[in-house]
Chains A and B, each alone.
Chain A
Amino acid sequence: MSAPYFPSFSPTMYVVVSLLLGFFFGFFLERAGFSSAKKLTAQFYFKDFSVLKVMFTAIVVTMLGVAYLAAAGWLDMSQVYIPLTFLWPQVTGGLLLGAGFIIGGY
């Protein structure tokens, strides 16, 4: 059976898997220091680029994994949600979010 697996989950299973994935997400974010607003904003003062490093390491790892699994035919990309592109709303939203990021410390 090919991934993604969520259509075959029972509701309980769905909730448990979601909670677990969220747990690891939160765990690794905290491990990387994303819980500190000062650490998050330090990158914008060229002091500490660990946020950038963490983010792009994660993107590259996932990207390679998804690409290989899809090429191997195991991950069915038609079942995977890929965010749609709405260029100008997304650029505007990004500018607003970036400004909010540095003002509020996320």
Chain B
Amino acid sequence: MAFHLGGTTLVSWAVILHFVAVGLVVSGLMIHVYMGAVFPEEKPAFFSMITGSVNELYAYRHHFKWWKEVKMQEREWKQEMEGTGGEAGPGDGNAPAPATGESAVGTPIRAGVKGGIFRRIFRQPEYWPPYVAGVGLGITLLMTFILMGQGLGASGGFTRYLVALLSWAAPDYVARNPYWSEYAQPGQSPLMSFLVFELIGVVAGGFVSGWLAHRVRISVDKGPHISARSRYALALVGGVLTGYGARLARGCTSGLALSGGAVLSAGAWAFMMAVFAAGFIGAYFVRRSWI
């Protein structure tokens, strides 16, 4: 066997497994060939790969949600063009609201977007498109590497706040503990660090962004099937796990996965994969909290 690992039993099982896998792949291939070339129901899908379009019946049968979405858009568009409800559904046809119908005439389809360029970019309640925000975040991170020689982070800053608090309350304990004492070198405040000030900036930046976009409010962000009290309890449990995990890995999703990933630290990528793996697996068990 490769690399001289394993005995004959392993090789024998590998041969069987290999044949089973070949059988599965070949049958899958045959189904695909049949569906692509022979089965009449699926022909529009095949041709759509070239033309980019399918007929309405196909869309209705195979992608009902998409069909419905297009229909709804068509209807909205018609209403706006005609201004009087158009082919409105039941309840809308004899709507006692000609005034709103009138005002809809001539307004652009995306009625929410209006005002100057500043308003349009910063004051809309919708989030930015992910790729736009991602480029902004990337440039910030790049500037951080250029200016500070390190990446952005979060958990390291919180650690330093805690060390400062501990060295004020129990300096002997900090000096004896090898983990804390590393942060509390004599003659240097544990707070004199990039991350400590960066965190203050993060709070300010997040608040300004949310305030500009009218998103600042006090609420409990949760799914519809969980009480606020349970959500608080779960948040505490999650926070403990997150905090411990972040310090065990020497970084959190910002400090290790994002910043370390960008400078191709192998451990950062392993960490990132582990985070997503645990997230996707764990999601099933706490689905009541979120959906």
A interface residues with partner B (beta carbon < 8 Å): 3-6, 11, 14-15, 17-33, 35-39, 41-45, 47, 49-51, 53-63, 65-66, 69, 75, 79-87, 89-106
Contact = CB atoms under 8 A, between A and B. Distances in A.
B19 interface: no
Contacts of B202: 22-23, 25-26, 29
Given A14-B197, A99-B241, A104-B238, 10 more contacts: A58-B137, A65-B145, A80-B263, A83-B255, A89-B249, A90-B249, A90-B267, A97-B271, A100-B242, A103-B237
Interface residues of B, number: 101
A98 to B, nearest CB: 3
Which residue, of B134, B151, B199, B223, has the highest number of chain A Cβ atoms within 10 A? Answer: B134
A43 B286 CA distance: 14
A105 B259 contact: no
5 contacts: A23-B208, A54-B130, A61-B137, A87-B270, A100-B241
Interface in B112-140: 127-128, 130-131, 133-140
B34 to A, nearest CB: 29
Nearest to B208: A27
Interface centre among B196, B202, B276 (most CB of A within 10 A): B202
User: What 9 pairs between A and B have smallest CB-CB spacing?
Assistant: A104-B238, A22-B201, A57-B134, A61-B138, A94-B274, A98-B278, A93-B249, A26-B205, A100-B241
Nearest to B254: A25
A59 B146 contact: no
Contacts, number: 363
A54 B139 CA distance: 12
A21 B290 contact: no
A25 B254 CA distance: 10
Nearest to B139: A61
B130 A53 contact: yes
A6 B147 contact: yes
Nearest to A44: B283
Contacts of B265: 82-85
